[in-house]
Amino acid sequence: MGTHEAVTAPETVLAPDRGAERGRLRVELLLGLTVFGLYALVVMLPQEARERAARRHGDALFDLERALGVDVERSLNKWLADQSVLRVLANYEYAITYLASAFGLLTWLYLRHPERYRTARNAFVLLNLGGIACFALYPVMPPRFMNDLGFVDTVRLGRTWGSWGSPMVEHADRFAAVPSLHMAWTLWVGVELARVSARRWVQSLNALHIVVTCYIIMATANHYLLDAVAAVPLVAAAVFVAERANRPATDRVRAPDAFFLAVETPSAPQHAGGVIMLDTSRTAVTAADLARLITDRMDRLPRFRQRLTPARRWRRPRWRDHPGLDWSWHIMERDVAGMAELRALVAGLQGEPLPRDRPLWRMVVVRGAEPGRTVVVFFMHHVVADGIGVVAHAMGLMEPYPIASAWPAPPRRPVRAAAATLAGLAQLAADVAPPARLPARGTSDRRFGTMTIPLGLMRDVARRYGARVTDVVLCAVAGGLHRAARETPGRRATCRVAVPLMMRPPGGGAEGNHTTAVMVDLPIGKMPETDRLAAIVRRGRVLRSGTRPLAAWFVMRQAARLMPAPLHARFARSVYGARFLQGIVSSMPGPDRTLRLAGAPLTQVYPVIPLAPEAPLAVGALGIDRELCFGVTADPGLVDDADRLTTAILEVIRELGCL
């Protein structure tokens, strides 16, 4: 779903961006500084309390080693303390080589193996974050600070310049013994060298470095043996998580898509679609024709043959190929007596959830709505695609088939986008509570209506009042609600609606949800329609500022991805429903050329937008050639008849056009 003005370009195919795989250098540096900043915060914690806890934990760890008979650190430390040259070399090795090997590997991967860099970097960040968390929650005093146990501080004894723990780096965390990040970094280097199949001599050299590091961290009394052991599961966990997170997301349901699985209820099914009107005065279209067409195009539209695996509490479902399609269910045929029966049929289908034991789409071939017309009612679950994605799936079955273009991607401005996202998050946090709710029964019963308006008229009205087509659509809906709602709204009544905005990048596929939504409060009280439109133009600036859309998209796509599945589901149910919005109003671009489905010319397509839970209104407007086709879904508690609401919407637009 998106604003009508937002998309005019055909779908774009882009070449793989190797730079995108490894990330921008400034972003990588900022990420590193962020991790170091978190480490610095631990150092800033009250040191007196940490020192007491660290001493207790150090004594407990050493006692455990003695009980296990593995307390080798003291003998290694005493021998090294008497070796003046080796002691200094060991101190420098402790201070330098783990840094050089880790950052050298990152640089090499960044330049020579960008396809592997992101996963390796993520593992490196995760193991450091795990270490920082351990330092904050379980500080442990290194042996070199426990002189009463017989340990010698080789760093201060040798006065090694620049070594970890020397006066030059006195700001370092003194109680960061468990786990040993020196050991973790060298082990991680070994894992990544093996992953990229580095030369054998390089891996052998690093294996020697691991052994030397393990010896030196104990001989210099910086760590216990168990500190080195603790580094092993830390590295294993970090690499495992990074690898899992970087697996291709083609089969796992992404967070923005799982959102609509979480919010779906028996009374609020979340399938979107359209009522496709075909001119069949010369060419008949049957269910068998559509089945043959879908079979031929199945390789281009994989979701037509895939279903969801059963959901688990802590893991999102996956897409799996379905062994066989029940064509008699997926494509049905119905006869109706006129448009009124067609709308009633669509309303009934809207209220029936799509079963999840089969691919989440359905078509109904309807005859008898209008002379010389056949209607194809097409539904697809929101987990598969957003409104634009559903349109793309439908167009994928039509002729001429959409041809990809080589339009360049828009320029990336990460700093500006980050600043706008932060500003948008602040704006979302400061938003006031939504207005009072509109009347709704909250059942699966629906009212569905359709209408068409010349697109030229909408554009003329928009130009006359310095507005956009989306603003005119919002004004028409607001004015229509005032005229057609069961309960007459008060003079200052408002209705908060979500306006979907498309965030789909050029070349994005038909699958997936690539939209965000911005809330707009529509004035639905009694007023001149020109004043209503002026108010909506002012309030609609939030749709064009970019800050709120970017913030909402960040929450939907990035923040939600980090949430465990149960938390994400609760978040989705909390923000998507009558508590925060009363309706959805979407203005979408459509094909600007004549298309054919199974040989029959397409005349109109009326979008079908699902209702949010307990929200009583959903309006979709889709541009088809020279017409804007409206599909209106309403809860019967809001309006007696959807046709009454569509008539009122049309009256508002004509009134604005005639002034």
Q: How confident is the model over 362-417, as pLDDT tens digits? A: 999 999 999 999 999 999 999 999 988 888 889 889 988 665 444 445 555 666 77
Q: Distance (Å, rounded) from C-alpha 571 to C-alpha 561?
A: 12
**What are 136-188's pLDDT values in tens digits?**
888 888 888 887 888 888 777 655 554 444 444 455 667 888 899 899 999 99
* Beta bridge partners of residue 452, listed in sequence order: 629
**In the block, which residue shows the tokens 């793309």?**
392
Q: Give the pair of three-digit tokens for residue 481.
A: 């609600």
pLDDT bracket for residue 593 (50, 70, 90): confident
Q: Give the pair of three-digit tokens for residue 347.
A: 């309303």
* Beta bridge partners of residue 343, listed in sequence order: none
Q: How confident is the model at residue 531, as a pLDDT?
A: 95
Q: How confident is the model at residue 37, as a pLDDT?
A: 75
b/e for 100-115, b at 16 or more Cβ within 10 A?
A: ebbeebbebbbeebbe
| Mean pLDDT of the region 3-17 | 33
Q: How confident is the model at residue 166, as a pLDDT?
A: 46
Residue whose C-alpha is closest to residue 172's, from 184, 187, 157, 162: 162
Residue whose C-alpha is closest to residue 163's, from 149, 151, 153, 148: 153
**What are 453-483's pLDDT values in tens digits?**
999 999 999 999 999 999 999 999 999 999 9
Cβ pair 447, 639 in contact under 8 A: yes
Residue that wins the pLDDT comparison between 558 and 137: 137
Cβ pair 506, 409 in contact under 8 A: yes
Where on the phi/psi map is residue 199: left (φ > 0), alpha (ψ -120 to 50), or beta? beta
Q: How confident is the model at residue 172, as a pLDDT?
A: 65
pLDDT bracket for residue 263 (50, 70, 90): very high
Q: Distance (Å, rounded) from C-alpha 109 to C-alpha 40?
A: 27
Strands of the sheet with 271-279, listed across from one edge = 331-335, 361-367, 373-381, 271-279, 600-608, 596-597
Q: How confident is the model at residue 5, as a pLDDT?
A: 37
Where do the CATH 3.30.559.10 domains begin and end in the chain? 255-395
What is the full DSSP assignment across 170-226?
Answer: TTS-TTB-SS-HHHHHHHHHHHHHHHTT--HHHHHHHHHHHHHHHHHHHHTTS--HH
Q: Give the pair of three-digit tokens for residue 272.
A: 């979107």
| Mean pLDDT of the region 348-361 | 95
**For the chain, what percent of residues have pLDDT higher than 90?**
45
Q: How confident is the model at residue 474, as a pLDDT?
A: 96
pLDDT bracket for residue 14 (50, 70, 90): very low
Q: Distance (Å, rounded) from C-alpha 487 to C-alpha 469?
A: 28
Using the predicted structure, report yes or no on whether residue 637 has a pLDDT greater than 90: yes
Q: Give the pair of three-digit tokens for residue 352.
A: 């029936």
| Mean pLDDT of the region 131-139 | 87
Q: How confident is the model at residue 327, as a pLDDT?
A: 94
What are the φ/ψ torsions at residue 311 (nearest 5 degrees)? Answer: -70, 145
Q: How confident is the model at residue 22, as a pLDDT?
A: 53
pLDDT bracket for residue 609 (50, 70, 90): very high
Cβ pair 628, 622 in contact under 8 A: yes
Using the predicted structure, report yes or no on whether residue 355 has a pLDDT greater than 70: yes
| Mean pLDDT of the region 427-445 | 79
Using the predicted structure, report yes or no on whether residue 229 has a pLDDT greater than 80: yes
Using the predicted structure, report yes or no on whether residue 15 has a pLDDT greater than 90: no
Q: Where are the alpha helices (DSSP H) in 327-398?
A: 327-330, 339-350, 387-395
Strands of the sheet with 515-523, listed across from one edge = 447-454, 627-634, 617-624, 583-588, 494-502, 515-523
**What are 489-530's pLDDT values in tens digits?**
888 889 999 999 887 654 455 788 888 888 999 999 999 999
Q: How confident is the model at residue 27, as a pLDDT?
A: 67
Using the predicted structure, report yes or no on whether residue 131 has a pLDDT greater than 90: no
What are the φ/ψ torsions at residue 206 (nearest 5 degrees)? Answer: -70, -35
- Min mean pLDDT across 196-200, 287-291, 311-315, 430-434 is at 430-434
**For the chain, what percent of residues have pLDDT higher than 70?**
88
Q: How confident is the model at residue 11, as a pLDDT?
A: 31
Q: How confident is the model at residue 367, as a pLDDT?
A: 96
pLDDT bracket for residue 274 (50, 70, 90): very high
Burial (Cβ within 10 Å: 0-12, 13-18, ≥19) of residue 146 = middle
Considering the domain delimited by 418-589+607-658, tell me its CATH architecture.
Answer: 2-Layer Sandwich (3.30)
Considering the domain delimited by 255-395, tell me its CATH architecture.
Answer: 2-Layer Sandwich (3.30)
Q: How confident is the model at residue 289, as a pLDDT?
A: 95
**In the block, which residue shows the tokens 């034991």?**
357
Using the predicted structure, report yes or no on whether residue 359 has a pLDDT greater than 80: yes
Q: Distance (Å, rounded) from C-alpha 178 to C-alpha 176?
A: 6
Averaged confidence pLDDT in the chain? 85
Report the Cα–Cα distance between both ends of the chain, in Å, rounded: 31
Instruction: Among 202-206, 544-548, 588-592, name the most confident range.
Output: 202-206
Where on the phi/psi map is residue 581: left (φ > 0), alpha (ψ -120 to 50), or beta? beta
Using the predicted structure, report yes or no on whether residue 44 has a pLDDT greater than 80: no
Where do the CATH 3.30.559.30 domains begin and end in the chain? 418-589+607-658
Q: How confident is the model at residue 366, as a pLDDT?
A: 97
